[in-house]
Amino acid sequence: MVKRDKEIFFRFKQLRNVIKKFAVALAFVFAFVFMLLTKSENVLIEKTSGAANEIVSAATDVLVSPASLLAEGYGYLRSLRKIDAENRRLREENRRLIMENARNRATDIENRLLAQMLNYAVLPGASFVTAKVVAEEGSAFAHAVTVYTAGSRNVRKGLAVIGSRGIVGRVEKCGPNYARIFLVNDINSKIPVMTEKNRVRGVLAGDNTPLPKMIFIPLEADVKEGDKIVTSGLGGVVPPGLPVGVVIKADKDGAVVRPYDRLNRLEYVQIVDYHLPDPTDELFAEGEDK
């Protein structure tokens, strides 16, 4: 019995040793398998995580794109509003500068015209009023201008009117602030003139054409193209020697005269009172004395 128990104990001990060895081997196998599984799971997790990140990133881009577009659109609209406001401001500034430049140019032209008129030699003792042309009449029946005299009392009918280079007409009618002037080419205008060189006398008469004519010239008079025409002083309204114009054509019917001033571009004129005595008054006075 004891021998049998010893034999059983010995076999059990051997079995236990075998199981122990097998367990150790099995533990190594499990450890190795676990290590393989852990490494595989890490790779799988990394791949899964990368794929998930890509999916999330794509989804995020899709979700964020409308918001980005809206933000960009809003910024673009704001920039358009700013550009439009800036364009309006620049247009207004450009309009103001154009108007200011036009005023400056007009002032410069007026200053040059007035300077030319001030350089015109007015005889001593004469008085004059500088007037601005505000209207003109050019038709088959009249060639006249209306000037603003600013209420001057030194303007009256019959006074000579001078441009920047010579005589251009005479006062036909005057009111409190305005005066009407017949230009030298008006059919109602008659001014005694003569040639500067040969002293041939005649009358500068208008016929409602652009250029007046010197008429009542003696048949034997030598009047030719290029002769300068000045006032003769007859009639007592204007003194002799005032420049009028130049002959551009002469024949037996008279001479066509081009005035020194361009009659269709008058802007300022001088209404001059030379304070000359009326020769008819002296003639009648002499007749009464006799």
Residue boundaries of the structural domains of the chain? 1-119, 127-276
pLDDT at 212: 94
Q: Give the tens place of pLDDT for each residue, 94-123.
A: 777 776 665 666 555 555 555 555 455 555
Q: Is 259 left (phi over 0), alpha (psi -120 to 50) or beta?
A: beta
pLDDT at 280: 47
Tokens, residue 246? 């130049």
Compute the CA torsion angle 188, 189, 191, 197 (nearest 10 deg).
Answer: -120
CB-CB contact of 247 with 214 (8 Å): yes
Q: Which residue type does 50 have?
A: G
Q: Which two tokens stand for residue 104?
A: 């400056």
pLDDT at residue 283, as a whole number? 45
Q: Is the pTM of this model over 0.75?
A: no
**Which residues of the chain register pLDDT less than 50?**
2, 45, 56, 118, 280, 282-285, 290
Fold (CATH) for 127-276: Thrombin, subunit H (2.40.10)
202, amino acid identity: G
